[in-house]
C-alpha cells in the first residue's frame, strides 16, 4: 500500500520489501495492467511521487485496517460468509493457483517462491494442505 506511481508507470516490474520478513520481492507488470495504470494515472491527475492508494483526503496511504474494514463491508453487502482479511485473500490466491495447476508439486514450489517461504513445507502448512492430506488419509481408510 506504499506504492508510488513512479514505481509502476512505464516499468516492466517493481520491487517491494516485505515489512514482516524484510525480503525483497520483484513483481512483473503485464502490458494490459500497464495500459490501465497509465489511464488511471492520467484520470486521477496524480503526480509521479504520489502514493497510489491514499485515504479520501489524499494525504496518507491506506492502512491494512482500512483495507480489512472495506473487505468486511463488501462481504457483508453481498452476503458472503467467511473470512474477509487481506491475509485471507492472499491464502485464497495460493489455494486457487494450486487448484488451477491440478494440485501439482511444481505449483507448490512456485507458490513457495511467490510467498517468499523458506521451504515448500512452509507453504503447505500456510495453505492448510497438510491438514487436508491427513483428513483425506482418514477418509480413505
pLDDT tens series, the chain, 141 aa: 889 999 999 999 999 888 888 888 889 999 999 999 999 999 999 999 999 998 888 778 998 899 999 999 999 999 998 888 988 999 999 999 999 999 999 999 999 999 989 999 999 999 988 777 777 778 887
Cα(54)–Cα(124) distance, integer angstroms: 34
Give the DSSP H/E element, type plus range, for residue 16. Answer: strand 13-17
Q: What pLDDT does residue 102 have?
A: 92
Q: Is the pTM of this model over 0.85?
A: no
Q: What pLDDT does residue 40 have?
A: 95
Q: What pLDDT does residue 75 have?
A: 92
CA proximity to 93, closest of 75, 62, 101: 101
DSSP code at position 4: B
Q: What pLDDT does residue 24 have?
A: 87
Amino acid at each position: 500500500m506504499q506504492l508510488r506511481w513512479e514505481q509502476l508507470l512505464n516499468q516492466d516490474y517493481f520491487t517491494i520489501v516485505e515489512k514482516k520478513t524484510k525480503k525483497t520481492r520483484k513483481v512483473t507488470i503485464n502490458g494490459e495492467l500497464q495500459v490501465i495504470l497509465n489511464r488511471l494515472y492520467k484520470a486521477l491527475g496524480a503526480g509521479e511521487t504520489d502514493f497510489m492508494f491514499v485515504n479520501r483526503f489524499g494525504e496518507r496511504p491506506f492502512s491494512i485496517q482500512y483495507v480489512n474494514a472495506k473487505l468486511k463491508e463488501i462481504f457483508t453487502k453481498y452476503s458472503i460468509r467467511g473470512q474477509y482479511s487481506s491475509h485471507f485473500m492472499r491464502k485464497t490466491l495460493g489455494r486457487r493457483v494450486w487448484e488451477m495447476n491440478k494440485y501439482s508439486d511444481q505449483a507448490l514450489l512456485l507458490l513457495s517462491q511467490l510467498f517468499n517461504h523458506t521451504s515448500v513445507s512452509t507453504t503447505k502448512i500456510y495453505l492448510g494442505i497438510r491438514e487436508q492430506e491427513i483428513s483425506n488419509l482418514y477418509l480413505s481408510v
